[in-house]
A = this chain, B = another copy of it.
Amino acid sequence: MVASLDALEAARLVERLARLVRMRALKGGLNPAQWEALRYLARANRFSRTPAAIAEYLASTRGTVSRTLASLEEKGYVARRADSEDGRSVNLALTRKAMDALKRDPLLTLAEDLEAGARGRMGDMAAGLKGALKAAIARNGTRAFDACFSCRHFRKDAHAGAAMPHHCGLLDAPLSDSDSRAICVEQEPMRA
């Protein structure tokens, strides 16, 4: 695969836009890694809100993430709680303060800028970027962290009518509608 000039230009723009967001984000007292951890936690389902999952999502290490979380906890953005079933594991939750902060996420202004720049072709653009991520993931062999409902282990309406109507065949656990829309560390795409 050889990249066109347009592709190279696009790659530079992706990098530069991301840098602008990162630099802006710093002024809020949170560093880029901290912001990304908050964003991840806001989107992850209950099986995926752990330090190890964050480390994998961020392509970082557990040690680094542990410190990031310690800092976020000290500042009042996340709560850590030992898992009731596995004493080694830690469950994370966002505080009210974190939810409020996310409403002013600098990433939202990037979204607005993209909306302005795409001029009605936002759908194509999002699809293209998504395809690029897919390619990157295939290349690196990392996890996709995609939506639960798009997973090969997802059993839609396995408990039809119940409050948690769906089911995860891998974790053998019932899933609510909102669970199914969240991203999951275990997500694997459908077989081709």
Stretch at the interface among A80-88, A91-99, A126-134: A126-134
Given contacts A4-B115, A114-B132, A124-B121, contact A36 B15 (CB under 8 A): yes
The number of chain A residues with a CB under 8 A from chain B is: 57
User: Is A131's CB under 8 angstroms from B111's CB?
Assistant: no
User: Is A128's CB under 8 angstroms from B119's CB?
Assistant: yes
User: Is B36's CB under 8 angstroms from A139's CB?
Assistant: no
Is A162 part of the contact surface with B, judged by Cβ < 8 Å?
no
Instruction: Say how many copies of this protein the assembly contains.
Output: 2
Is A1 part of the contact surface with B, judged by Cβ < 8 Å?
yes
For A116, the chain B residues whose CB sits under 8 A away are 1, 131-132, 135
User: Is B133's CB under 8 angstroms from A13's CB?
Assistant: yes
Stretch at the interface among A19-27, A71-79, A170-178: A19-27
Stretch at the interface among A45-53, A102-110, A184-192: A102-110
Q: 16 other contacts beyond A20-B59, A125-B128, with CB at 8 A cut-off? A: A7-B118, A7-B122, A10-B125, A11-B107, A13-B129, A17-B133, A19-B36, A20-B136, A23-B60, A109-B139, A110-B136, A116-B135, A117-B128, A121-B124, A122-B128, A125-B125
